[in-house]
Amino acid sequence: MNLHNIVGGVVASVNPWITVAISPSTGYTTNDDGTRVPTYGATVYMSGQLQSLTYQDLMQTQGLNIQGTRRALYLNGSWPGVVRADGVGGDLITLPDSTVWIVNQVLEDWHYTSGWTKLCITLQDGS
């Protein structure tokens, strides 16, 4: 049973769904001078809701030593976040206001049972 679909309409009356553009990281290339430049795959569009991080979210991300503006993004679907063993992570999310955010951590992953994922995202410089 997808509970997120059931309550999504009620939540959307207060916090509307937005369409986000997700650019999945594909690794990096190395320039002649040795600097690395991240590379990204084809952009994927998903609907989501942007919210503040809860106290529990902040405690969960405390060990990441991340500074800056952070938010929770609920996606109607699945997104893996950082999985070092698989070589994935560092995906960029562009919001409708053109700000760019990076996925730091999957806070909750209910896509198998409820069809949604909660991500911790951090605003990137220059956005």
Mean pLDDT in consecutive groups of 10 residues from the start of the chain, 127 residues: 63 82 91 92 92 76 71 84 69 95 85 77 80
70: enclosing H helix or E strand: strand 70-75
- CA 72, 20, 112: angle at the middle one, nearest 5? 65
* Dist. CA 89–CA 86, nearest whole Å: 9
pLDDT for residue 65? 63
pLDDT for residue 112? 63
Name all domains of the chain by residue range, CATH numbers in brackets: 3-26+37-123 (2.40.10)
Whether the full predicted model's pTM is greater than 0.85, yes or no, is no
Residue reference for tokens 């902040």 = 58
- Provide the 10 A C-beta neighbour count for residue 104: 20
